[in-house]
Amino acid sequence: MSQIHALAIDDNAQNLRVLSQLLAKQGVRCTEVSNPVNLEQMLPELGAVDVVFLDLEMPGLDGYTVKNMLQAEMGHVPIIAYTVHVSEMNVVRNMGFDGFLGKPLDNARFPDQLARILRGEPVWDRV
């Protein structure tokens, strides 16, 4: 079985580093994207992606626009909203995201949340 590959999109370098470290602890390879404006050119080079963690508020392109672009380019890959804006949970659900994780991520809960996401189970967790 090949290694699971996650795509993490967030303009905050510290948030990307934390998420990448949590994923690495679970044996998941992570591609970090800090500027979603460059994402479209990167997609052909990424290879298969198993899950996307997507911040909602970024300069240039918001997470909703990026989600639509990813779905058009990648087909169905679970896209998880990953944001401090926990008040956006219902909007995110209505916009067709596959889950929601509030920041900051909980180190103790993340392994179970990730396993559920990868099994296709819904994860709608606030901090």
What pLDDT was estimated at residue 8? 97
Q: Which CATH class is domain 5-125?
A: alpha beta
Average pLDDT of 101-108? 93
Band of pLDDT at residue 127, cut at 50, 70 and 90: low
- Write the pLDDT tens digit of every residue in 44-84: 888 899 999 999 999 888 899 999 999 998 888 999 999 99
> pLDDT at residue 124 above 50?
yes
- Asked if 39 contacts 66 with a C-beta cutoff of 8 angstroms, the reply is yes
**Closest C-alpha to 55, from 45, 65, 46, 47:** 65
Cα angle for residues 102, 51, 111 (degrees, 5° grid): 55
- Write the pLDDT tens digit of every residue in 12-48: 999 999 999 999 999 999 999 999 888 888 888 888 9
> pLDDT at residue 107 above 90?
yes
| Burial degree of 75 (CB within 10 A; 0-12, 13-18, 19+) | exposed
- Cα separation values, 96 from 14, 17, 38, 79, Å: 27, 26, 23, 9
- Asked if 102 contacts 83 with a C-beta cutoff of 8 angstroms, the reply is yes
Cα angle for residues 108, 110, 111 (degrees, 5° grid): 90
What tokens were used for 80? 């998880």
What tokens were used for 73? 């380019």
Band of pLDDT at residue 1, cut at 50, 70 and 90: very low
Average pLDDT of 85-112? 93
